[in-house]
């Protein structure tokens, strides 16, 4: 995608943001929402550690063959666990208590363009940064140093690539509700360092966040309140709008993972894990983020239902025969095998199953290339 398109969309959304009056964007009437039911097609191998281990997934798109794409997840007791599209573990990176993870494409490492994976690391109260080998998908640590946060304990995490400047940023938050924005930059020895460029207070405990690289927004989940919408550029301070809150019948504490389904021309959806009732809320990506409905992942012949989800992610692009229109992935807080409790894992749902469960159906756009989003070429 050309940068002029990104800038035009970004300018339009800035104007829309500025014109929305008041703190609350909209108010749904009080009622009980019946969520759609979908089934997972694949579940990943389970975590090697017992108890609450799995947390957050991030989908990496292979630059040439999407069927070789990977899902990078956090085992918050041990490190990063990487799965292929069949849900099989293909790599483990021992890196400490990494909590949330995200992926971005096209980082300029002194002339070498690389894809990066970064995560909040509670063992060192820091950001862990890796580059991805494009052929093998292997993660290689390229942190220039231990990039330590001033937060009391790092928790949630997401990346942002600015359509205006092409710069990369990392957002980290804490259980005390504070947030930091770090600019990531290349060092002379081909590693990545960071500088703190913005700090603000969200409220009470926060974790889930996601940034819209094309429209320039940052969404943050305040777990007992709801979802906030900020401008993602570092000079925008703490101004925000409320997307949804717990006074509305479709939002139940806790709000956990957030992710974005990207489509062409600024279309798409914001998805949120509503952990309190084991559902996933769907909002329009543009405008006032209108609430469209919700869905749950239920038992199937292949996988068990999903409960108490932390992290989620979604991709629109065609992956393989099983996922011709992308897929949604969710952490399963209570995983079962033949009816017996077992260690946690992740469940993968074909996007068309979710899209077609809504009426009217959600869009299916498997041609919009997220790897090119925010390109300065």
Which of 110-119, 201-210, 254-263, 368-377 shows the lowest mean pLDDT across its residues? 368-377
On whether residue 377 sits in a domain, the answer given is no
Tokens for 202, please give them. Answer: 């969200």
Q: With 70 as the cut, is the pLDDT of residue 13 above it? A: no
Which of 22-36, 76-90, 282-296, 322-336 shows the lowest mean pLDDT across its residues? 22-36
CA 144 vs. chain centroid, Å, equals: 24
Closest CA to 295 of 335, 261, 247, 343: 261
Mean pLDDT for all residues in the chain: 91
Q: With 70 as the cut, is the pLDDT of residue 218 above it? A: yes
- SS3 of 303, please? coil
Predicted local distance difference test score (pLDDT) of residue 279: 95
Average pLDDT value for residue range 225-241: 96
Contact 9, 43 (CB under 8 A): no
Q: With 90 as the cut, is the pLDDT of residue 240 above it? A: yes
Euclidean distance between CA atoms 37 and 354, whole angstroms: 8
- For residue 112, the domain's CATH number is 2.120.10.30
Measured from the Cβ of residue 145, the count of other Cβ atoms closer than 10 Å reads 11
Average pLDDT value for residue range 164-191: 97
Higher pLDDT, 249 or 239: 239
Tokens for 94, please give them. Answer: 């021992």
Cβ contacts of 69-73, under 8 Å, gap ≥ 24: 69/315, 69/319, 70/137, 71/44, 71/313, 71/329, 71/346, 71/348, 72/101, 72/103, 72/117, 72/139, 73/44, 73/101, 73/311, 73/331, 73/346
Euclidean distance between CA atoms 33 and 37, whole angstroms: 13
Which residue shows structure tokens 């301070």? 237
- Categorize the per-residue pLDDT at 374 as very low, low, confident or very high, splitting at 50, 70 and 90: low
On whether residue 337 sits in a domain, the answer given is yes
Measured from the Cβ of residue 331, the count of other Cβ atoms closer than 10 Å reads 29
What percentage of the chain reaches a pLDDT higher than 90? Answer: 84
Contact 35, 295 (CB under 8 A): yes
On whether residue 283 sits in a domain, the answer given is yes
Contact 163, 147 (CB under 8 A): no
Q: With 80 as the cut, is the pLDDT of residue 219 above it? A: yes
How confident is the model over 73-114, as pLDDT tens digits?
A: 999 999 999 999 999 999 999 999 999 999 999 999 999 999
Predicted local distance difference test score (pLDDT) of residue 16: 44
Q: With 70 as the cut, is the pLDDT of residue 10 above it? A: no
Contact 269, 260 (CB under 8 A): yes
- Categorize the per-residue pLDDT at 323 as very low, low, confident or very high, splitting at 50, 70 and 90: very high
Higher pLDDT, 374 or 82: 82
What is the domain range of residue 205? 3-372
What percentage of the chain reaches a pLDDT higher than 70? Answer: 90
Please count the structural domains in the chain.
Answer: 1
Q: With 90 as the cut, is the pLDDT of residue 278 above it? A: yes
Higher pLDDT, 325 or 276: 325
Which of 8-17, 39-48, 338-347 shows the lowest mean pLDDT across its residues? 8-17
On whether residue 344 sits in a domain, the answer given is yes
On whether residue 76 sits in a domain, the answer given is yes
Q: With 90 as the cut, is the pLDDT of residue 283 above it? A: yes
Euclidean distance between CA atoms 300 and 23, whole angstroms: 41
Euclidean distance between CA atoms 344 and 155, whole angstroms: 19
Of the chain, the end-to-end C-alpha distance in Å amounts to 8
């Amino acid at each position: 995608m050309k940068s002029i398109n990104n800038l035009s969309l970004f300018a339009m959304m800035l104007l829309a943001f500025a014109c929305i009056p008041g703190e609350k964007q909209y108010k749904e009437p009080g009622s009980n929402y019946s969520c759609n039911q979908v089934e997972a097609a694949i579940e990943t191998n389970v975590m090697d550690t017992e108890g609450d281990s799995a947390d957050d997934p991030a989908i990496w798109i292979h630059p040439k063959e999407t069927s070789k794409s990977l899902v990078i997840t956090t085992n918050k007791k041990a490190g990063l666990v990487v799965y292929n599209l069949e849900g099989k573990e293909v790599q483990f990176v021992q890196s400490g208590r990494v909590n949330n993870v995200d992926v971005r494409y096209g980082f300029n490492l002194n002339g070498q363009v690389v894809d990066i994976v970064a995560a909040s690391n509670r063992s060192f109260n820091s950001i862990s940064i890796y580059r991805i080998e494009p052929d093998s998908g292997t993660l290689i640590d390229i942190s220039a140093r231990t990039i330590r946060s001033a937060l009391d304990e790092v928790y949630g995490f997401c990346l942002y690539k600015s359509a205006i400047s092409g710069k990369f940023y990392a957002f980290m938050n804490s259980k005390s509700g504070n947030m930091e924005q770090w600019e990531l930059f290349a060092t002379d020895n081909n590693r990545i360092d960071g500088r703190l460029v913005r700090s603000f207070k969200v409220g009470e405990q926060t974790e889930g966040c996601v940034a819209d690289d094309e429209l320039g927004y940052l969404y943050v989940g305040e777990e007992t309140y709801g979802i906030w919408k900020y401008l993602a550029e570092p000079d925008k301070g703490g101004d925000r709008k409320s997307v949804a809150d717990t006074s509305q019948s479709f939002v139940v504490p806790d709000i956990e993972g957030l992710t974005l389904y990207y489509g062409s021309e600024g279309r798409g959806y914001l998805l949120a894990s509503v952990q309190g009732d084991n559902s996933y809320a769907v909002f329009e990506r543009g405008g006032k983020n209108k609430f469209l409905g919700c869905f749950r992942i239920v038992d199937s012949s292949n996988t068990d239902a999903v409960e108490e989800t932390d992290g989620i992610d979604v991709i629109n692009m065609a992956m393989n025969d099983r996922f011709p229109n992308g897929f949604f992935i969710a952490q399963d807080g209570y995983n079962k095998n033949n009816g017996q409790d077992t260690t946690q894992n992740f469940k993968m749902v074909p996007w068309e199953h979710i899209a077609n469960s809504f009426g009217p159906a959600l869009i299916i756009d498997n041609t919009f290339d997220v790897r090119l989003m925010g390109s300065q070429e």
